[in-house]
């Protein structure tokens, strides 16, 4: 077997899109296992740039087959828009894109509930794409799945039931007008016909492919610190981006995953609300944000920026069983005089070395820093690890030591070619 799971090990936007696309060359299938169009995965090839929200980043590689698994929540309009966007950019998905018949659907009432809830006190800073409310319906057992949509009678029946409940929530709790059944029904029946050619039981498909020893890439969205179980709850997304999510999100056994690759930035960013111990409050945040183009690929919101946090990455390595790490955006730190690494937190005069489960504790944690000298040389053209400035190598080897796993890839630019490989055998 040779199946590789790619997981974000911070708060998302680590550069998963670039790595997935890079590794797709070797893979036969690329499969998304959770999240929805809250994700924004960027792939840069020369002058060309793609931002993908639902379709796996491997689709850009000619001939590669891509699966949107049962663990993903699908907004049909967003998916059809993405298929069109890809076609206009010269990427035809016909015969290469497969959608799980067990995936749950996002409806406009989900986005409306997300929006309405965000306006209330205690906001999460969601992308307002209806992700949380769609997963809420799934767990509440009133969700509507792709297979339901494929049968007009079943769909009509389920939509009536769920819409009645969700309209009541919108009207009574949030004082918002509900939606009309007929309009929604007709609109989704139209989506059904457009999506039908892509729909299949993708668990059967992916298991068959794995049985034939073809290389399969499992693409996570978001990151471990946004995981509903292991993230900074409640400031998280509503799915499991951690590697465990790949099994239930695709219908494969845990024994089918051979390797897990964690993606980290050489610093940290966060878009959306929630605690962020190593956040920079100085003008340096703005400087790194501009150099690293740290604006949300989905919402365009400015991302908060902070120093590399080893406590966080150690937590991600443990809960996701990460075997090695890809360090992205090293080039963004090229001009800095000093670079800090957080090695622990100070909480009520004690040093904590493990990520606290309680978010209010994390909010009070003060980072303990080590200071490293910047390398003050451009790394963007470097292709070999040994050619990196020695101070950059020292910084990277400290990250490796603190994380407790080897580094397998260093990225020094958005383009697919700005990549330094330390390992040639990712899949095994
Ligand atoms: P994802 O959600 O994990 O796929 O990451 P995003 O696409 O949301 O954000 C990563 C951003 O960093 C994108 O704009 C990428 O093009 C860019 N990027 C990826 N790797 C590098 C790198 O090594 N250096 C620089 N400067 N940009 C990078
Ligand atoms: P990719 O795959 C970064 C954040 C939102 C918010 C929280 C909950 O591109 O790394 P949601 O809309 O999911 O209910 O929002 O999660 N968030 C992301 N942050 N990258 C993402 O995806 C994200 N997807 C969701 O900003 O804080
Ligand atoms: Mg992103």
Query: Could you please report the per-residue DSSP string of 58-78?
Result: GGGSTT-EEEE-TTBEE-HHH
Averaged pLDDT of the chain = 97
* Per-residue confidence (pLDDT) for residue 297, from 0 to 100: 83
Taking the chain (428 residues) in runs of 10, the rounded mean pLDDT of each run is 94 98 96 98 97 98 97 98 98 98 98 92 89 98 98 98 97 96 98 98 98 96 98 98 98 97 98 96 94 92 97 98 98 98 97 96 98 98 98 98 98 97 87
Give the C-alpha separation, 402 to 343, whole Å.
8
350-352 vs 366-373, strand pairing mode: unpaired
Give the C-alpha separation, 27 to 251, whole Å.
19
Specify the CATH superfamily of domain 3-98+201-259. Answer: Adenylosuccinate Synthetase, subunit A, domain 1 (3.40.440.10)
Give the C-alpha separation, 187 to 378, whole Å.
52
Ligand nearest to the backbone CA of 236: 2
Give the C-alpha separation, 34 to 54, whole Å.
10
Q: How far is the CA of 18 from the centre of ligand 1 (A)?
A: 7
Give the C-alpha separation, 24 to 36, whole Å.
20
Which residues, by Cβ under 5 Å, contact ligand 3, an ion? 13, 40, 297
Give the C-alpha separation, 202 to 70, whole Å.
8
Query: Annotated active-site positions, please?
Result: 13, 41
Give the C-alpha separation, 417 to 194, whole Å.
36
Ligand 2 neighbour 272 (Cβ under 6 A): yes
Ligand nearest to the backbone CA of 332: 1
For the record, the structure tokens of 382 come out as 């470097």
Tell me the Cα Rg of the chain.
21
Pocket test for ligand 1, best of 14, 17, 40 (most atoms within 8 A of CB): 17
By the 8 A CB rule, do 356 and 365 touch?
A: yes
Cis status, amide bond into 234, omega within 30 of 0: yes
Q: How far is the CA of 338 from the centre of ligand 2 (A)?
A: 30
Ligand 1 atom closest to Cα of residue 20: 4
User: DSSP character for 305?
Assistant: E
* Per-residue confidence (pLDDT) for residue 216, from 0 to 100: 98
∠ Cα 368 374 379 (to 5°): 130
CATH architecture assigned to 104-195:
Orthogonal Bundle (1.10)
Atom 23 in ligand 1: which residue has the minimum CA distance?
329
Give the C-alpha separation, 338 to 333, whole Å.
9
Q: Is the dihedral of CA 302, 307, 311, 315 positive or negative?
A: positive
Q: How far is the CA of 241 from the centre of ligand 3 (A)?
A: 13
44-51, Cβ contacts within 8 angstroms, sequence gap of 24 or more: 44/18, 44/414, 44/415, 44/416, 45/21, 45/415, 45/416, 46/415, 48/89, 49/414, 50/17, 50/86, 50/89, 50/91, 51/17, 51/297, 51/298
* Per-residue confidence (pLDDT) for residue 281, from 0 to 100: 84
Ligand 1 atom closest to Cα of residue 41: 4
Ligand 1 atom closest to Cα of residue 57: 4
Give the C-alpha separation, 423 to 325, whole Å.
11
80-84, Cβ contacts within 8 angstroms, sequence gap of 24 or more: 80/191, 80/194, 80/195, 82/37, 82/52, 82/53, 82/54, 82/55, 83/55
Domain spans in the chain, listed from the N-terminal domain onward: 3-98+201-259, 104-195, 265-421
Query: Could you please report the per-residue DSSP string of 24-38?
Result: HTT-SEEEE-SB-TT
Q: How far is the CA of 17 from the centre of ligand 3 (A)?
A: 8
Residue of 4, 5, 10, 89 whose CA lies nearest to 274: 10
Ligand 2 neighbour 221 (Cβ under 6 A): yes
CATH architecture assigned to 265-421:
Alpha-Beta Complex (3.90)
Residue of 221, 250, 244 whose CA lies nearest to 102: 250
Ligand 2 neighbour 24 (Cβ under 6 A): no
Tokens 């958005």, residue located: 414
* Per-residue confidence (pLDDT) for residue 368, from 0 to 100: 98
Q: How many other C-beta atoms lie within 10 A of the C-beta of residue 15? A: 21
Query: Could you please report the per-residue DSSP string of 158-188?
Result: HHHHHHHHHHHIIIIIT------HHHHHHHH
- Rounded to whole angstroms, what are the CA distances from 76 to 53, 107, 145, 149, 393? 12, 8, 11, 11, 45
Give the C-alpha separation, 163 to 186, whole Å.
14
* Per-residue confidence (pLDDT) for residue 293, from 0 to 100: 97
Give the CA count within 13 Å in the CB-facing half-sphere of 258: 14
* Per-residue confidence (pLDDT) for residue 20, from 0 to 100: 98
Residue of 215, 308, 226 whose CA lies nearest to 274: 226
* Per-residue confidence (pLDDT) for residue 425, from 0 to 100: 85
Q: How far is the CA of 304 from the centre of ligand 3 (A)?
A: 14
* Per-residue confidence (pLDDT) for residue 106, from 0 to 100: 98
By CB atoms closer than 10 A (0-12, 13-18, 19+), residue 241 is: buried
Atom 3 in ligand 2: which residue has the minimum CA distance?
12
Tokens 């799971």, residue located: 5
Pocket test for ligand 2, best of 9, 10, 11, 12 (most atoms within 8 A of CB): 12
338-347 vs 366-373, strand pairing mode: antiparallel
Q: How far is the CA of 237 from the centre of ligand 2 (A)?
A: 6
User: DSSP character for 355?
Assistant: -
């Amino acid at each position: 077997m040779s199946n590789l799971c790619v997981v974000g090990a911070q708060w998302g936007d680590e550069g998963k899109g670039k790595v997935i696309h890079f590794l797709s060359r070797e893979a036969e299938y690329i499969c998304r296992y959770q999240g929805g169009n809250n994700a924004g995965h960027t792939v840069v090839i020369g002058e060309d740039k793609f931002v993908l929200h639902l379709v796996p980043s491997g689709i850009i590689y000619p001939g590669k087959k891509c699966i949107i698994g049962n663990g993903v929540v699908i907004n049909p309009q967003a998916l059809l828009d993405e298929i069109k966007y890809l076609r206009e950019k010269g990427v035809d998905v016909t015969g290469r894109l497969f959608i799980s018949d067990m995936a749950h659907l996002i409806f406009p009432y989900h986005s409306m509930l997300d929006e309405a809830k965000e306006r209330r006190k205690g906001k999460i800073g969601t992308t307002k794409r209806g992700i949380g409310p769609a997963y809420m319906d799934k767990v509440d057992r009133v969700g509507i799945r792709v297979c339901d949509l494929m049968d007009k009678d079943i769909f009509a029946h389920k939509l009536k039931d769920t819409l009645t409940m969700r309209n009541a929530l919108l009207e009574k709790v949030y004082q918002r007008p509900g939606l009309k059944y007929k309009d929604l029904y007709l609109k989704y029946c139209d989506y059904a016909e457009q999506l039908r050619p892509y729909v299949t039981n993708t668990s059967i498909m992916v298991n068959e492919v794995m049985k034939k020893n073809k290389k399969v890439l499992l693409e996570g969205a978001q990151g471990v610190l946004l995981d509903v179980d292991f993230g900074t709850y409640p400031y998280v997304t509503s799915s499991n981006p951690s590697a465990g999510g790949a099994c239930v999100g695709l219908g494969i056994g845990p024994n089918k995953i051979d390797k897990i690759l964690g993606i980290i930035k050489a610093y940290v960013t966060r878009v959306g609300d929630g605690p962020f111990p190593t956040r920079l409050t100085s003008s340096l945040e703005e400087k790194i944000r501009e150099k690293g183009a740290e604006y949300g690929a989905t919402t365009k919101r400015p991302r908060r920026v902070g120093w590399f946090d080893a406590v966080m990455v150690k937590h991600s390595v443990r809960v996701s069983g990460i075997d090695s790490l890809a360090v992205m955006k090293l080039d963004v730190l090229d001009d800095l005089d000093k670079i800090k690494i957080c090695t622990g937190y100070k909480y009520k005069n004690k040093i904590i070395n493990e990520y606290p489960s309680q978010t209010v504790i994390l909010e009070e944690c003060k980072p303990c820093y080590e200071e490293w000298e910047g390398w003050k040389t451009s790394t963007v053209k470097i292709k070999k690890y040994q050619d990196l400035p020695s101070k950059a190598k020292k910084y990277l080897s400290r990250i490796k030591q603190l994380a407790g796993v080897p580094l397998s890839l260093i990225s020094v630019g958005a383009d697919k070619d700005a990549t330094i490989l330390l390992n040639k055998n990712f899949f095994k």
